[in-house]
Structure 1
Amino acid sequence: MILVLGLLITLACAAVAAGALNSFVLSRWEAPGTESVRAQEVLARDFATGNANLVLLVESSSTVDGPEVRAAAGRVEARLAGEERVADVWSYWSRGGDPTMRSPDGHFAVILAHVEGDATTARAWIRGHVLPSYTADRGPIAVRVGGGEAVSSQVSERAASDFLRAEALIVPLMLALLIFLYRRVRLALLTLGVGLFSVFTTLALLRVVARFTEVSTFAANITLVMGVGLGIDYGLFMIARFREELTRGATAGEATAITVRTAGRTVVFSGLTVAASLSALFVFPFPFLRSFAYAGVLVVVMAVLGALTVLPAALGVLGPRTLRRNPPPVNHHGFWYRLGTRVMRRPVLFAAAGLVLVGVLGAPALGLRIGLPDDRVLPPTASTRQTSDLLRATIPYEPSDALQVIVPAGDSAPLATALSRVPGIAQVNAPTGVYAAGARQQPFADPAALISPSTVRLEAVPTRAALAGTDVPELVEHVRALAPEAIVGGFPAELSDFRAALTSRIPIVAAMILAISFAVLFAMARSLLIPLKATVLNLLSLTVMFGVLVTVFQNGAFANVLGFTPIGTLDPAFPILMFCVAYGLSMDYEVFLLSRIKERYDRTGDNTRSVLEGLQRSAPLVTAAAAILAVSFSLYATGEVMYLQMIGVGTAVAIVVDAKIIRGVLVPSLMRLAGRANWWAPSFRWQS
């Protein structure tokens, strides 16, 4: 009955999940309630405009100042202004030859526009209409499409393509690995079925969640890889225990009951630790990261549910048919037992060696440099990336990323003069004129565009160099310090506010993850030292992950192999996500290992023997699960979007290091050094 019900639920959820991606949305890098978001609202209300989120790069083989080029560009600008979704358009030509919108050699100039609508609608329109219809040679000019929303539209398109490719590869690859591991096709299908159960039910539930709040399209990626991975993790652990009980002479019913009581309890604790780590993402006020929290928590719950209901029911039906046809002889002193013996004979030596190795691998993390999102997350073949590369090479200013300084109506000349002196600001456009280097240069071509009945806005155009690297927040703060009464917006301000809101909550998130996982492990082990040790070791494995991120994606090692362009910084959003995912999975393996060690210790009271026997029982499973999950994540390294490549490579490395070095060497050596202190817990006794 449970099997039939589980199958029906899976099929029903698969049908619902088929349309889930259409319910998900795209998100922008902005922090609700911040000054830059308020600036967006004022720009729309008072000036009927916004940030320049669409760029048309116009190229002429002669000069952009020629009459034929001017006329052709004017026709393109007029056509763009007539589009229903375009709220505002301005260009080099309509701004009276603005020097920040033209290349020094005179061959390139830009048309800027603000596209209205939410991120999903705007990017779909740009991808489906603007990119194909505006990218063309038009007589004396060639037009290329770029800008923030155009770049983001191709990022989401290629991320979706990466997701579909990973989906097509993960299932058959995991099935092949499971058949090799089990030597039983039925068990491989059953284990994979638990993973697919969690994926389909989670996507169906996310479709419901999307009716009430934003769910990012990237949530589908984490659902697939974690759903399949955790389903396999839990399946391996449950099936191994079931087989173990059968070989001891238990009936199928008895083996099922024991498996649920022992391995099932471990799965519950494991699920709690992973879900707790991912639930910390709810602290961030960004729909993008909260979407990962929704997906992560739901997929863990569904994986646990499948492992505790559908899987035991199927095992009870299969019974002895789950055993290998020609099982190898039982070896209680196999590779992991022998390795553990060697480690525990020289615990100081192995602990020191393991810590040195982890330290060397993690040392590059000290050079972490936090930056801001960049179009170079796309491969060089993407058309918007090519446009951005050409803009970087030809125009030394960032007119599309101008800071919008909104002040009450009045004389704006003094503020414009002061802003034009700020290092990194090339030009300030104000109703009273164009300012540079502290002096008025000329009248502004369209002063009415900068004036409303109650407010005035100034456009502070930065140099391209000022927006490179990690100096953007300093530039924004400098501008805000000069105009404390102003509302400062624009894309640089939005990214700075986003980063500030993100990084300010990191200590809270880290504290939540550490505290909750500590509490869960304490409840499981009834020990004070073991959860403390697990916390420290998990942080060490994450240090290795960040070391890899810095070495590979910040500094560019293996960039040619993976096919991405390093920019010398890391966007903080994805490393934070990876911290939560990798920490939860690392604690997952700690729970698997610890449960068997504690089970043996409760029976024997012998710390050394318990560690060795627990290692022999659980380490092969942890290794197999880690290998399979690492393969799942590493498939994203074959994608075209650097964000997903980071998740794939970084998480896969963290999983492998955790399973091999942390669990295989550091855990037994440190438990040997601690001895009976491993199992000490404070006694809470109240006296009246």
Structure 2
Amino acid sequence: MTMFWTPRRSVSALVATAVAALIALVALPAALGALGTGGLFATGTESDRAQSRAEQLQTASPDLILAVADRGGPGPWQKQVRTRVRTLTSRLSSDPEVGTVRSFALSDDPWLRSRDGRTGLVTVSLIGSAKERRDSAERLVPQARAALAPLRVEASGTAWATSRSDQRIKIDLLRAELLAAPLVLLLLVLTYGSLSAAMLPVLVAALVVLCAVPVLGILAQYTDISTFAVNAAAAIGFGLSVDFTLFILARYREENARGTPRTQALEVALRTSGRSVLCSAAVITSCLAAVSAVPVPLLRSLSVAGITVTLLAALAALTTVPAALTLLGDRIDSGDPLRRLRRSAIGEVSTFWRTVARGVTNRPLAAAAGALVVLGVLAWPAFETRLGVPDERGLPQSAPVAQAAADLRQRFTAPPERLHIVVTQGSAAAVSRYAAALARQPHVHDVRVLPSSSTRPGERMPTEDQDSVLVVAADVAPDSQEGARLVQAMRSLPAPGATLIGGQTAQNLDTVTTLRRSLPWAAAATAMALLVSLTLFTRSVIAPLKALAVATLSLAASAGMIAWAFQGGHANGLLGHFTLTGTLDGCLLVFTLAVAFALAIDYEVFLLGRIKEEFDQGRTNRDSVVEGIAHTGRLMTSAAAALALSTAAMTTAEVTMLKLVGAGIASAAILDAVLVRGVLVPAVMTLLGPANWWSPRVSLRREGTNRPPDRRAESATEIG
């Protein structure tokens, strides 16, 4: 048979790869500049429509808040200070990227003054997309500080918090990647005993991450792709690329160590492990595609970025890796600094994992019960999970924007984040009665009717059935249960006409509700895609169902560990200090669990493929399980360790969002590779026996009548 990966084709493939990398490097600055912010709140909800309508009426919630205080002086209400702030207010109002401005210098509004009278607020509503508002805030804040110097100007608000978060995330992830790369390289050298073999996965991973950014930059022209999503996906893509490369490299070296010529060993590796890579990429992509259907821009952005790096990782593993192996030849095994210390040759079966597998399959019921108990204990905290939406508290407490926001909560009677925007229709009398009813709700201390662009000049309130905007000031936090109940109570009140209730509290509630309603559909779509893919891969009905059940258990344990660490705060100190909010970021939790679930299936596909291969060669079901674990145990643990290192490095970040993603994926990868694949899966497969491979269309051989294994033919045997 003619070999596809000839030296000539391999050179062409690597030249094409180098050209792609060069183009990606040149396009990198433009791609990074095209990235957006990824909205935190669900779209299409009542609060989203309320915000849009309030913006049309020029009464929207502010995106940028400037707190002005005189440094040690008598306060911001002295004449000179007010004059300077009026000038700044005028400049802001005339800016084409500014919608509305409210200033303490133009009003005696107590909402714009601190309780001690020493600080005043200038609130700014911006126009444009989330990215444009962030960019506007980055331009306006330095201008405001320069115009009011030496007055102290502290900035907060969603646009400025997003800007500061993006800047901090870039720094944190760069540090994490610089830390992870040498650690992963060291791990691979220790595991695979060759500098060449260790460098190949790292170089392929770096290539995938580099090429992913321009691709996402192009996609950002059509949908909002956030900077955070790209950076998080880069860390995940690095680990996933290492995994895919190791799957093929390990099988290639195993076949070659058995005496198979390198060209044939590569063909076997691509037919077996390469097929596993394709199936894994399909399952991971399907899982993330289902999650992308949830109408939250940040979650959709994370999913699109994850899909991109997954497809690129699979493409590189199936093209760049075989081309490199063809040209490297024997050099792939050169440069082992620990050759004299190794007890077994590279490519040999793991005696440790064979011993573990034999112990598990000898007592499968006890092993399965023990694993289930551990998973159940780990999953228990997940039952108390409370979802929320991130804010500036995800930054370090020392961050100026976090301190400014905390100062607003403590020193002002009506912090902008606790204001509820109500857009309704009706006559002046009806709106007044409605405002009085709102004022009687628990935790409400003031209600105002604002003039809007639809109000006639000189009128405070409408006299006809037209849009009116009411602002409800509450004394409960946006992410509190009391705040959610207040929004629900306001929405249940009889209104004079069509009414929309918005504000940050309503946006938080609507986003969490959207997540809860959408996730069952996303889970069903993911399960269907998984069952179809694994049925085609294994040609069995039972094995995919078992894989789905085991992956779900692993997912529950991962959710419990995340809740215990971040909602319960037990990882505070261990993973650096972060602010406890009593909730978990819903979008990041869903994305992290989706990746963890996909990784569980990734390892399941590789393990199932090898066990099925052993079974088809004539081994009994139990022996197939033992040999499958023996041949893949070392690979799965080293691949999981490499992925865990690349993502765990994110826990060194100062931003809680990165800590959650990094710790969640790293712990899930190790848990799944060691406990689930090493103990639970072989125990369950032993208990199921030949039923693992039952299919209504295929008459499987009986376990006792399988022909003896032919190890000489193994290198030429395809899976399934």
| TM norm structure 1 | 0.91
Supply the distance in 2 between the matched residues of 1:406 and 1:463 (Cα, whole angstroms): 17
Q: Which residue of 2 aligns with 1:356?
A: 373
Range 370-379 or range 88-97, more displaced: 88-97
1:492 and 2:505 matched: yes
Supply the distance in 2 between the matched residues of 1:55 and 1:6 (Cα, whole angstroms): 48
Q: Secondary structure at the match of 2:510?
A: helix
1:246 and 2:249 matched: no
1:154 and 2:164 matched: yes
Q: Which residue of 2 aligns with 1:347?
A: 364
> Structure 2 matches for 1:335-484, cutoff 5 A?
335-408=352-425, 410-411=427-428, 412-430=431-449, 455-482=466-493, 483=495
> Structure 2 matches for 1:24-173, cutoff 5 A?
24-45=35-56, 47-59=57-69, 74=86, 76-92=88-104, 94-98=106-110, 100-131=111-142, 133-134=144-145, 142-173=152-183
CA gap of 1:633–1:453, structure 2 versus 1, over 3 A, is farther
Q: Which residue of 2 aligns with 1:533?
A: 546
Of the candidates 502, 509, 524, which is equivalent to residue 511 of structure 1? 524
> Structure 2 matches for 1:547-562, cutoff 5 A?
547-561=560-574, 562=576
Of the candidates 177, 196, 203, which is equivalent to residue 193 of structure 1? 203
Q: Which residue of 2 aligns with 1:648?
A: 662
Identity %: 33
Q: 1:392 touches 1:464 (CA, 8 Å); kept in 2?
A: no
Q: 1:633 touches 1:651 (CA, 8 Å); kept in 2?
A: yes
Supply the distance in 1 between the matched residues of 2:375 and 2:603 (Cα, whole angstroms): 18
Range 82-91 or range 668-677, more displaced: 82-91
CA gap of 1:202–1:459, structure 2 versus 1, over 3 A, is same
CA gap of 1:26–1:468, structure 2 versus 1, over 3 A, is closer
Letter in 1 for 2:548: T
Q: Which residue of 2 aligns with 1:301?
A: 311
How far off its partner does 1:205 sit? 2.0
| TM norm structure 2 | 0.87
Q: 1:167 touches 1:224 (CA, 8 Å); kept in 2?
A: no
CA gap of 1:2–1:537, structure 2 versus 1, over 3 A, is same
Give per-residue Cα distances to partners, 1:247-306, cap 9 Å, x unaligned.
222222111111111111111111111111111123122332222232222222221121
Q: How many residues of Structure 1 are paired with residues of Structure 2 in the alignment?
A: 671
Q: Secondary structure at the match of 2:30?
A: coil
Q: 1:30 touches 1:494 (CA, 8 Å); kept in 2?
A: yes
Supply the distance in 2 between the matched residues of 1:67 and 1:97 (Cα, whole angstroms): 17
Q: Which residue of 2 aligns with 1:3?
A: 14
How far off its partner does 1:345 sit? 1.7
Range 510-519 or range 616-625, more displaced: 510-519
Q: Which residue of 2 aligns with 1:438?
A: none
Range 585-594 or range 79-88, more displaced: 79-88
Supply the distance in 2 between the matched residues of 1:110 and 1:555 (Cα, whole angstroms): 35
Q: Secondary structure at the match of 2:397?
A: coil
Supply the distance in 2 between the matched residues of 1:126 and 1:453 (Cα, whole angstroms): 37
Q: Which residue of 1 aligns with 2:647?
A: 633
How far off its partner does 1:429 sit? 0.6
Q: 1:425 touches 1:460 (CA, 8 Å); kept in 2?
A: no
Q: 2:427 touches 2:462 (CA, 8 Å); kept in 1?
A: no
Range 276-285 or range 127-136, more displaced: 127-136
Q: 1:26 touches 1:217 (CA, 8 Å); kept in 2?
A: yes
Could you list the runs of 5+ residues in structure 2 that have no partner in the other structure?
A: 1-11, 452-456, 700-720
Q: Which residue of 2 aligns with 1:572?
A: 586
Letter in 2 for 1:459: L
Letter in 2 for 1:511: A
Letter in 1 for 2:378: L
How far off its partner does 1:377 sit? 0.4
How far off its partner does 1:450 sit? 6.4
How far off its partner does 1:540 sit? 1.8
Letter in 2 for 1:389: A
Supply the distance in 1 between the matched residues of 2:461 and 2:593 (Cα, whole angstroms): 44
Q: Secondary structure at the match of 2:234?
A: helix
Letter in 2 for 1:553: F
Letter in 1 for 2:298: F
Supply the distance in 2 between the matched residues of 1:18 and 1:71 (Cα, whole angstroms): 42
Supply the distance in 2 between the matched residues of 1:247 and 1:58 (Cα, whole angstroms): 72
Q: Secondary structure at the match of 2:122?
A: strand
Give per-residue Cα distances to partners, 1:91-118, cap 9 Å, x unaligned.
45644333x4444444444332212222
How far off its partner does 1:477 sit? 2.5
Q: Secondary structure at the match of 2:390?
A: coil
Supply the distance in 1 between the matched residues of 2:683 and 2:633 (Cα, whole angstroms): 15
Q: Secondary structure at the match of 1:218?
A: helix
How far off its partner does 1:533 sit? 1.9
Q: Secondary structure at the match of 1:604?
A: coil
Letter in 2 for 1:455: Q
Supply the distance in 2 between the matched residues of 1:278 and 1:677 (Cα, whole angstroms): 31
Supply the distance in 2 between the matched residues of 1:603 and 1:396 (Cα, whole angstroms): 75
CA gap of 1:372–1:316, structure 2 versus 1, over 3 A, is closer
Supply the distance in 2 between the matched residues of 1:64 and 1:132 (Cα, whole angstroms): 19
CA gap of 1:415–1:467, structure 2 versus 1, over 3 A, is same
How far off its partner does 1:186 sit? 2.0
Q: Which residue of 1 aligns with 2:351?
A: 334
CA gap of 1:63–1:18, structure 2 versus 1, over 3 A, is closer
Give per-residue Cα distances to partners, 1:68-123, cap 9 Å, x unaligned.
6655654554454344433212245644333x444444444433221222222221
How far off its partner does 1:18 sit? 4.3
Supply the distance in 1 between the matched residues of 2:463 and 2:131 (Cα, whole angstroms): 30
1:624 and 2:638 matched: yes
Supply the distance in 1 between the matched residues of 2:420 and 2:397 (Cα, whole angstroms): 28
Q: 2:476 touches 2:483 (CA, 8 Å); kept in 1?
A: no
Range 183-192 or range 601-610, more displaced: 183-192
Q: Over aligned residue pairs, what C-alpha RMSD do you find?
A: 2.8
Of the candidates 168, 175, 180, which is equivalent to residue 190 of structure 2? 180
CA gap of 1:131–1:569, structure 2 versus 1, over 3 A, is farther
CA gap of 1:452–1:497, structure 2 versus 1, over 3 A, is farther
Could you list the runs of 5+ residues in structure 1 that have no partner in the other structure?
A: 433-445
Letter in 2 for 1:371: G
Q: Which residue of 1 aligns with 2:715?
A: none
How far off its partner does 1:384 sit? 0.8
CA gap of 1:391–1:232, structure 2 versus 1, over 3 A, is same
Supply the distance in 1 between the matched residues of 2:48 and 2:220 (Cα, whole angstroms): 23
Give per-residue Cα distances to partners, 1:571-623, cap 9 Å, x unaligned.
21111111211111111011111111111011124011111111010010000
Q: Secondary structure at the match of 2:585?
A: coil
CA gap of 1:532–1:204, structure 2 versus 1, over 3 A, is same
Supply the distance in 2 between the matched residues of 1:222 and 1:676 (Cα, whole angstroms): 41
Q: Which residue of 2 aligns with 1:443?
A: none
CA gap of 1:182–1:19, structure 2 versus 1, over 3 A, is farther
Range 525-534 or range 347-356, more displaced: 525-534
Supply the distance in 2 between the matched residues of 1:293 and 1:648 (Cα, whole angstroms): 16
1:218 and 2:228 matched: yes
Letter in 1 for 2:37: L
